[in-house]
Amino acid sequence: MSFDLERVRAEFPALQIMDAGKPRYYFDNPAGTQVPQRVVDAVSHCLLEANSNLGGDFVTAGLADKLVAEARSAMADFLNAPDSDEIIFGQNMTTMTLHLSRSIGRHLKAGDEIILSRMDHDANVQPWVLMARDFGLKVRWLSFDTDSFEFDLAQLDTLLNEHTRLVCIGGASNLLGTINDITEVSRRARAAGAWTFVDAVQSVPHVTTDVQAIGCDFLACSAYKFFGTHQGILWGRRALLEQLEPYKVRPAPDELPWCFETGTQSHEGIAGVAAAVDYFAWIGETMAGGQAAASLETGDRRATLRSAMGLLFAYERDLAEHLIGGLTSLSGVTVQGITAIDALDRRVPTVSFTHKQRAPADIARQLAEHNMFVWSGHNYAVEAAKSLGLYENGGAVRVGPVHYNSHAELDDLLNVLEDIL
């Protein structure tokens, strides 16, 4: 058994669509992925057969309860959370982070310190800057090396001290593609007595995520980036979540996870989360070798998911190598991220580049004329774009293949780019 691209692509109806005879080249995945048929089916099952609020005695309510419980358990396996009640659903990562930041802020006192990174998406920056403003906290900044596109954790050691309460860090950069050593960051933060909040939105679609192995305290992600629905997911350690005061209305339950879930959730979105996890389990079961198949039989979904992610990472690493090799051979192009072959294990295949003369938005527009979908700009990685001097200059062009993309698609992209540039 091995990775079977054609079988994977057949799962995604959107990959078969043509526009005026042209295939669609989905390289906009860091902004949102396409979904397999099973996600569409789960959403329609929810809306057609289980469309009810939770907790009632009638059939639809029972089905909705079951569906949400299953999604929580699937997500707990996907993140290796010890307890599915630690999985909280919400609108999206940004909204959930803003929401949690109020509860964390209330827990801290004026003069406490937090550490933010200059590589992160603004969803893991500004909620904490606002929290610091509202609760009188001091912000310290972890910068990255603009040549290696990585953090130097020796700098983290100089920022951590007895006042540090929280370190906020990304699993992978949505602009540079760098995978950060969040396990080591969490270890150092913990040693200093601080909590770690991980923005895993861009790492979860590409790498195995194990909150227990990472040793972080909170981790947030978004299912629409990992082949699911527009749905935010937040994991937090039970012992910490129970210390925090949730901002909630009075009739809402006081217990986890309900106390952090404001109002009525998007049950159809939550149904899609379970189906997306099921899609990864299917890859593990059908393509990732006997070990995974054996573990499914014994009901070990976690092991199956782990094998799937290992298989996909290896394939995506090849895609990244191919893309980076092609881009660096184009005249006038600079890749804004890790390019060394022996360092490709430390990046996801999200590759941003600039051209010495052409504006990123123009390049993206011309690619769109060929039905090739990419984003340009800072992509909300405000601090990272500023650090690289890209913020005022239109940012970069971001090409973000995932495991359903092919080497042939990348070749077509590189040929078109050569003509455009």
Q: Which residues bind ligand PLP (CB under 6 A)?
A: 31, 92-94, 121, 123-124, 170, 174, 199, 201-202, 222, 232
Residue 2 C-beta: closest distance to ligand PLP, Å: 30
Least CB distance to ligand PLP at residue 224 (A): 7
Beta-carbon contacts of 90 under 8 Å, excluding residues fewer than 6 positions away, are 96, 99, 232, 233, 234, 260, 261, 262, 265
Q: How far apart are CA 267 and CA 209, in angstroms?
A: 24
CB of 89 to ligand PLP, least distance (A): 12
Give 117 or 186: the residue with its C-beta nearer to ligand PLP.
117
Of residues 232 and 246, the one with the C-beta less far from ligand PLP: 232
With respect to ligand PLP, which residue has the nearer C-beta, 202 or 376?
A: 202
Nearer to ligand PLP, 394 or 400 (CB): 400
User: What's the min distance (Å) between Cβ of 198 and ligand PLP?
Assistant: 10
- For the CB of residue 201, give the shortest distance to ligand PLP in the complex, in Å: 4
Shortest spacing between CB 60 and ligand PLP, in angstroms? 28
Q: Which is nearer to ligand PLP, 121 or 206 (CB)?
A: 121
**DSSP code for 221:** E
180: CB partners within 8 A, 6+ apart: 119, 150, 151, 169, 170, 171, 172, 173
Paired with 219 in beta bridges are 198, 235
User: Which residues fall within 8 angstroms of residue 333, CB to CB, at 6 or more apart?
Assistant: 327, 353, 354, 355, 417, 421
What is the rounded CA–CA span in Å between residue 365 and residue 376?
Answer: 9
Q: Which helix (H) or strand (E) holds 301?
A: helix 301-328
Check if the beta carbon of residue 404 is closer than 8 Å to that of residue 9: yes
Least Å distance, CB 266 to ligand PLP, is 13
Q: Print the SS3 string covering 313-337.
A: HHHHHHHHHHHHHHHHCCCCEEECC
**Measured distance between the N- and C-terminal CA atoms of the chain, rounded to whole angstroms:** 41
**DSSP designation for 260:** G
- The minimum distance between CB 320 and ligand PLP, in angstroms, equals 17
Nearest approach in angstroms of CB 16 to ligand PLP is 26
Q: How far apart are alpha carbons 144 and 148 in whole angstroms?
A: 8
Do residues 257 and 58 make contact, with C-beta atoms less than 8 angstroms apart? no
Q: Buried b / exposed e across 314-332, counting CB within 10 Å, b at 16+?
A: ebbbebbebbbebbeebee
Shortest approach of ligand PLP to residue 304 CB, angstroms? 26
User: Checking DSSP bridges between strand 150-151 and strand 144-145, what pairing results, if any?
Assistant: antiparallel
* Residues contacting 308, CB < 8 A, separation 6+: 280, 281, 283, 284, 287, 288, 292
**In the complex, what is the shortest distance from the CB of residue 95 to ligand PLP, in angstroms, rounded to a whole number?**
7
- Residue whose CB is less far from ligand PLP, 170 or 349: 170
Beta carbon nearer to ligand PLP, 202 or 304: 202
Question: How remote is the C-alpha of 399 from its chain's centroid?
Answer: 16
Minimum CB distance to ligand PLP smaller for 233 or for 311: 233
Q: Is the Cβ of residue 107 or residue 230 nearer to ligand PLP in the bound state?
A: 230
Residue 58 corresponds to which tokens in the numbers above?
């009638």
Q: In this complex, which beta carbon is closest to ligand PLP, that of residue 174 or of residue 208?
A: 174
What is the C-alpha to C-alpha distance for residues 38 and 22, in angstroms, rounded to an integer?
Answer: 26
Residue 112 or residue 120: which is nearer to ligand PLP going by CB?
Answer: 120
- Best CA proximity match to 169, nearest among 237, 106, 123, 230: 123
